[in-house]
Amino acid sequence: MTRVLILDDSLTVRMGLHEAFEAAGYQTVLCAKAQEAWEALAAEDCALIVLDVMLPDADGVEVLAELRRSLRTADIPVIMLSTEAEVQDRIRGMRCGADDYVGKPYDVDYLLARAHTLTRRDAVQAEGSPRVLVIEDSRTFRAFMQEIFTAAGYRVLLAENGEEGLRIALSERPDALVVDGRLPGIDGATVVRRLRMDAGLRHVPCLMLTASEDLNDELLGLEAGADSYLRKSEDPEVLLARVAALLRSAERSRSPLPETSALGPKKILVVDDDGISRQALASQFQLEGYDVTLAQSGEEALELLKAQAVDCILLDLVLGGMSGLEVCRKVKEHAEWREVPLLVLSVREDRPTVIEALNAGADDYLIKGSDMEVIRGRVRAQLRRRHFEQESRHWREEQLRQELVKAEARAAQELADTRATLLSDLAKKNEELERAKELAEAATQAKSEFLANMSHEIRTPLNAIVGMADILARTPLTSEQEGYVRVFRRAGDTLLTLINDILDLSKVESGRLELDVSSFDLQELLEKTLEFVAPRAHEKGIQLTLDFAPSLPRYRQGDAHRLRQVLTNFLGNALKFTERGSVTLRADYATQVGNLRLSVSDTGIGIPQEKHLAIFEKFTQADSSTTRKYGGTGLGLAIAKQLVELMGGAVWLESEPGKGSTFHVELPLELASSVPRARTEALPTASGSSMRILLAEDSEDNRAVFSAYLSRTSHVLTLVENGAQAIARFQEEPFDLVLMDMQMPVLDGYGATRTIRDWERESGRKPTPIVALTAFAYKEETEKSLEAGCNAHLSKPIAMRDFLEAIASYAPTPAPNALGDEISRKLQALIPGFIARWTAELADLPQGDLDAVRRFAHRLAGSGGMLGFPGLTELGRDLEAAAKVPNPAEIESRLAELSRQLDQIREQLDSQRA
Ligand code: ADP
Q: What is the DSSP string of 775-812?
A: S---HHHHHHHHHHT-SEEEESS--HHHHHHHHHTTSP
Cis peptide before 105, with omega less than 30 degrees from 0? yes
Which amino acid belongs to residue 135? I
- Rounded to the nearest angstrom, the distance between the alpha carbon of 446 and the centre of ligand 1 is 30
pLDDT of residue 795: 79
Whether the Cβ atoms of residue 690 and residue 865 lie closer than 8 Å to each other: no
Which amino acid belongs to residue 472? L
What whole-number distance in Å separates Cα of residue 157 and Cα of residue 455?
99
Helix then strand then coil, % of the chain, to nearest 5: 55, 15, 30
Phi, psi of 422 (to 5 degrees): -60, -45
State the pairing for strand pair 692-696/737-741. Answer: parallel
Q: What is the pLDDT of residues 424-472, one digit of tens each?
A: 999 999 999 999 999 988 887 787 778 767 777 787 788 888 888 888 8
Other beta carbons less than 10 A from residue 735's beta carbon: 21
State the pairing for strand pair 650-655/661-667. Answer: antiparallel
Residues with CB under 6 A from ligand 1: 569, 573-574, 577, 602, 604-605, 607, 615, 621-623, 626, 632-638, 661
- Rounded to the nearest angstrom, the distance between the alpha carbon of 896 and the centre of ligand 1 is 29
Sign of CA dihedral 304, 340, 369, 346: positive
pLDDT of residue 700: 84
**Pocket residue to mutate for ligand 1, from 571, 615, 633, 665, most atoms within 8 A of Cβ:** 615
In ligand 1, which atom is closest to the CA atom of 663?
23
- Rounded to the nearest angstrom, the distance between the alpha carbon of 634 and the centre of ligand 1 is 7
Distances (CA, A) of 285 to 7, 16, 105: 26, 20, 12
- Beta-carbon contacts of 105 under 8 Å, excluding residues fewer than 6 positions away, are 286
pLDDT of residue 627: 66
In ligand 1, which atom is closest to the CA atom of 569?
7
- Rounded to the nearest angstrom, the distance between the alpha carbon of 777 and the centre of ligand 1 is 25
- Rounded to the nearest angstrom, the distance between the alpha carbon of 146 and the centre of ligand 1 is 101
**Pocket residue to mutate for ligand 1, from 637, 656, 665, most atoms within 8 A of Cβ:** 637
Spans in the chain with pLDDT lower than 50: 122, 124-126, 255-260, 675-687, 814-823
Answer yes or no: pTM beyond 0.75. no
pLDDT of residue 686: 37
pLDDT of residue 146: 92
- Beta-carbon contacts of 655 under 8 Å, excluding residues fewer than 6 positions away, are 606, 607, 612, 661, 662
In ligand 1, which atom is closest to the CA atom of 623?
16
Closest residue by CA, ligand 1 atom 13: 621
pLDDT of residue 260: 47
Other beta carbons less than 10 A from residue 648's beta carbon: 13
pLDDT of residue 678: 39
Torsion of CA 762, 763, 766, 771, to 10 degrees: -70
- Rounded to the nearest angstrom, the distance between the alpha carbon of 615 and the centre of ligand 1 is 7
Side-chain-side CA neighbours of residue 870 (13 Å): 23
In ligand 1, which atom is closest to the CA atom of 578?
24
- Rounded to the nearest angstrom, the distance between the alpha carbon of 588 and the centre of ligand 1 is 24
User: In a 3-state reduction of DSSP, which class is residue 233?
Assistant: coil
Beta bridge partners of 294: 270
pLDDT of residue 427: 92
Taking each helix axis from N to C terminus, what angle separates 108-126 and 162-172, rounded to the nearest 10 degrees? 50
CA angle 421/425/429 to nearest 5° reads 170
Whether the Cβ atoms of residue 290 and residue 281 lie closer than 8 Å to each other: no
In ligand 1, which atom is closest to the CA atom of 627?
4
Q: Where are the beta strands (DSSP E) in 121-253?
A: 131-135, 155-159, 176-180, 206-210, 228-231
Whether the Cβ atoms of residue 720 and residue 729 lie closer than 8 Å to each other: yes
- Rounded to the nearest angstrom, the distance between the alpha carbon of 504 and the centre of ligand 1 is 18
